[in-house]
Structure 1
């Protein structure tokens, strides 16, 4: 959002709301929340706000929010906004880049309307996506981007035919390297192009053209070279696509900031992750999507068994004390149903409050944005969502986009199904 829009954002008063702040496990009922410009100005017991002395303009937009719950705007920390799960791969290869970019506009809008005010795109979106969102040209979550995945020859990010013909040459195409020095150069290249994160393929994957999840990716020295250079360049961190146990362990020892998927993580690596503070982004929405019946029967059965084992291992991971962050792999999973991930996190062992934290305060901390967003706290940016369901007793209900009644991004109402902030219950102070 443009800075002039922040300055002109109206003052909002959400009155008599129940606050779940994304940090403390217990809700705080009966609160008035005052938003000035793009910031949360005050959170006080209902009726105690001294409006004449509040730093606010002469008029307020007031929402009588009794019966509603206010939460921080959510993060989805693993998305691919330029990818559609319904698109045929061959059609995508042939499509002009402009079509792929414009096709992402409704996906971005649906993501914001689902309550996701911030997201991390881990391959596909370039810096133009981030800048268009910041300028307000497109309706969607604020983005951090990785641009592409760095891969060894034949690894998860090497989408070439046997003859070497690239199947993807767009902004999100994988970059192939094969030594620590080459990976340092590849890291510098994505940083030059505007990456906030560096993404690496530490293993193969369930959808790799030639590499199974247990297959190796970057070596330990290669991963360490990327981590060191990324830190030197000042990016947020290194995100490791890692599904097999050995590759996860190698990535954690190399010092990556986040493990993406982590499907076959072993107990010793979970202990190592806990000691190092490595984040886990389990992408359960992608893992639990229906297994396609296409392809050889033995591969279909292999994927089904792998999914069962992955769910068992991730259940152990989620109850181990490792830092868990919400990420859906939207683009592989559908766009717009992002908060259904919360119910999956709870099924595998998180409490509802911990699942909410995974999508708010913990995610913000992983993205180094916790001094800006991720909780309902005075002084932070007013990225907020309002719902008429109780997510602590019915977390699944929050996964329905219509349960997110109001979305406030940078102090501005960008979605309102309450008929309150934008209409009848608005009044002058």
Structure 2
């Protein structure tokens, strides 16, 4: 249950872009909302609120990772091992990854392939601990495209640690794209994921290959406009330049990866109000994982690392709205905030990188009225880091240095100790 909390004695970075407050206070109520965030000398009496001493550290909004795959381990397990897993075991693995992510300071994630609305409900209902979840469930691709896990000999991988064919939709016409979209909307998804290009991990294509056509993506966009209320957004897996261009002129809300983005595409993104989610964590090789990766995947990745970083750096410099996303699942879970340092490597200031992982992410997800910044009235998603988040932003990537995590006013991590929710079912 939420409780009244008083985070105090720490530097406050509220995510809005305002300058850090050297001695900040955040107060929350039993409804799980923030009642005050600001300097200590203007704070109301905290009464009998539980005190969280952030002395020597930084009080921050809960972070948002806009691109994860909870059902993929990121460990590049042998295909035979992954395919042998029972579904209930895979669900329990996913629950552990969600908890790891939450304890690393990430209080909201958008899963772009593999996680169902059922897992979203399990978190919301408190059956398992994890970040607030938004899900795409499946992914739309064409025959031979990024998520068509059919090998040249016709053998299809229906399910494994990193192939989720059972959830994906292979579409080869605007009408098929519309039918798949209707099926996903019916299942209760939060976002539609499309493949506008090939990918590094694909069986049959490359990042520079185009994916769904403009006509197919525009048909999806038009279909989503038929529903009453909020139009579901489209997230486009888009790595090569031509596919990025196609996605942007088709009305997508976010470009995922975007390694080939050029100046023209960046301007299209800015003019349309779309977001770039660069997933720089995928460009970091773990030597052990590299040995287990398919040779073709390694070849593609090595060929893209430097030009991808250069293009993302140019997009940052041009003023693109960049939201933090890691593609966790293609890499390890629980290290999500290392992405902040990678953004700084490409020209972001630490303060801007923090906003990328808080306010900007909330804007992309259209949740900025309730999360993303520490302001009165918003949900009490609060993180305490044991260092100076401006001077030592890379330390945020070490989950051991995230001393406290609160989600909707419930303190789930207290001085590094996990506080599980206790339910009676």
TM-score in terms of structure 1 length: 0.90
Q: Distance in 2 between matches of 1:96 and 1:22?
A: 41
SS of the aligned residue for 1:15 comes to: strand
Aligned counterpart, 1:266: 262
Q: Structure 1 residues 327-336 or 99-108, which shifts more?
A: 99-108
- 1:175 to partner: Cα distance: 0.7
Q: Distance in 1 between matches of 2:38 and 2:91?
A: 43
Aligned counterpart, 1:426: none
Gaps (5+ residues) in structure 1?
423-429
Aligned counterpart, 1:216: 210
Aligned counterpart, 1:275: 271
- 1:418 to partner: Cα distance: 6.3
Q: Which runs of 4+ in 1 moved over 6 A?
A: 294-299
Contact 1:195 1:235 in 2 (8 A): no
SS of the aligned residue for 2:394 comes to: helix
Q: Distance in 1 between matches of 2:197 and 2:217?
A: 12
Q: Deviations over 1:144-186 (max 9, x none)?
A: 0001110111111111234544312558632101111110110
Contact 2:15 2:372 in 1 (8 A): yes
- In structure 2, relative to structure 1, the CA distance for the partners of 1:151 and 1:171 (3 Å cut) is closer
Q: Distance in 2 between matches of 1:137 and 1:172?
A: 25
**Is residue 182 from structure 1 mapped to residue 168 from structure 2 by the alignment?**
no
**Is residue 73 from structure 1 mapped to residue 43 from structure 2 by the alignment?**
no
Aligned residues: 409
Aligned counterpart, 2:408: 410
- 1:267 to partner: Cα distance: 1.4
- 1:303 to partner: Cα distance: 3.3
Q: Distance in 1 between matches of 2:293 and 2:343?
A: 30
Among residues 307, 311, 314, which one is paired with 1:313 in the alignment? 311
Among residues 276, 280, 284, which one is paired with 1:284 in the alignment? 280
Among residues 378, 381, 396, which one is paired with 1:380 in the alignment? 378
Gaps (5+ residues) in structure 2?
421-425
- 1:217 to partner: Cα distance: 0.5
Among residues 106, 113, 116, which one is paired with 2:106 in the alignment? 116
Q: Deviations over 1:191-236 (max 9, x none)?
A: 1112100000100001100100011110111011112223434454
Instruction: Report 1:110-189 matches (<5 A).
Output: 110-162=100-152, 164-169=154-159, 173-189=167-183
- In structure 2, relative to structure 1, the CA distance for the partners of 1:264 and 1:91 (3 Å cut) is same
TM-score in terms of structure 2 length: 0.91
SS of the aligned residue for 2:329 comes to: coil
Contact 1:125 1:171 in 2 (8 A): no
